[in-house]
Amino acid sequence: VDDRVYETVYDESTIRNTFLIQKIEVKAEKLWVNAPKWTPSIWFKLLRKTEDGKFEEVPGADLLKVKSGQVIWKEVDKTDLLGNPYTFSVQEVDKEGKDYVPEDYKKEENGLKVTNTYTKTKDKLPSTGESSIGLLLFSGFAFLGSGSMLLRKKKK
């Protein structure tokens, strides 16, 4: 009826069914939004919970460095010992396993997906001089006017 797996052993007059915990792969994704070409190194920590439980670290699951936008844990227990299925989630952490938010990013963790949105605005270039376009135009016209007067005098 359910998708539980049992091992059945027959021993003379005894039949013994042993529940076997199925193993699965768990894939988590990383998305960078509006990020520059260089992004900081980050790791994921795998968490799990049963329907009425709290999230906990998955025993034996390594911290995985995120490369190419995803990580995959293999051979992860699908259920607890009673057959209750786990719900999985990830937490973005540093290499020591501590919660981490990259500088200049806003982090959103949602199940098996973590999104980091770049929040730093591009710096405005500093002013390197006066922007007196009026003075420049006046000087240009004065120069042209002087040149034209000299040409008229030469023609006479």
CA distance 59 to 116: 27
- The strand pairing partners of 113, in sequence order, are 29, 110
Q: How many CA atoms lie within 13 A of 64 on its CB side?
A: 20
Whether residue 15 has pLDDT greater than 50: yes
H/E run at residue 152 = helix 133-155
Tell me the whole-structure pTM to 2 decimals.
0.69
CB 78 within 8 A of CB 85: yes
Task: State the pLDDT at residue 2.
Answer: 60
CA distance 131 to 114: 45
Whether residue 20 has pLDDT greater than 70: yes
pLDDT above 70 covers what percent of the chain? Answer: 76
Whether residue 37 has pLDDT greater than 80: yes
pLDDT digits (tens, 9 = 90+) for 90-149: 999 999 999 999 999 999 999 999 999 999 876 666 666 665 666 666 676 677 777 667
Domains of the chain by range and CATH? Answer: 22-118 (2.60.40.1140)
Arithmetic mean of pLDDT over the chain = 86
